[in-house]
Structure 1
């Protein structure tokens, strides 16, 4: 079963990394700045597509943002689309003051 681990070696950016046993199969690159969690990129290995792993990373990031009272700036296309599709689910953490450009 895949497991998400938040990894930050003290230098930004940090990442939510997705592991299947000991093999890294996905990541979400983030950075914390002034009470905001900027999400830059989400990627899951091609051979792992369709297994819901992107959502697993998204859920871990959202839980982290909530538990640390952070607002999310979704610069990543995947996260921005999920926030737009499910605005009520992410209303408490979505920083709508910052408009990402795609």
Structure 2
């Protein structure tokens, strides 16, 4: 499991390659209003959560970015630190960033 922290004043983390079937956690110690998850290469679908819960590949409680070069912008439903968790069946390259 990979774990990254994005400090206040930093925009995000870029070019992270997910490990197949392994959860990657991105922590923002501050309360982020909106985050963007970007798939750089569309190598595989990306499943993610923004409330600290654990995502699953094709999980009903997970958001999804299809296997395409694309992104999703989401407002986390929680107050306090923002925790983004991602998983994939493949090894897509991603970025996770605050949008404002």
TM value normalised by structure 1: 0.31
Q: Name which one, 1 or 2, has greater alpha-carbon Rg.
A: 1
Bigger share in strand: 2
- Larger RCO: 1 or 2 (CA < 8 Å, sep 6+): 2
TM value normalised by structure 2: 0.31
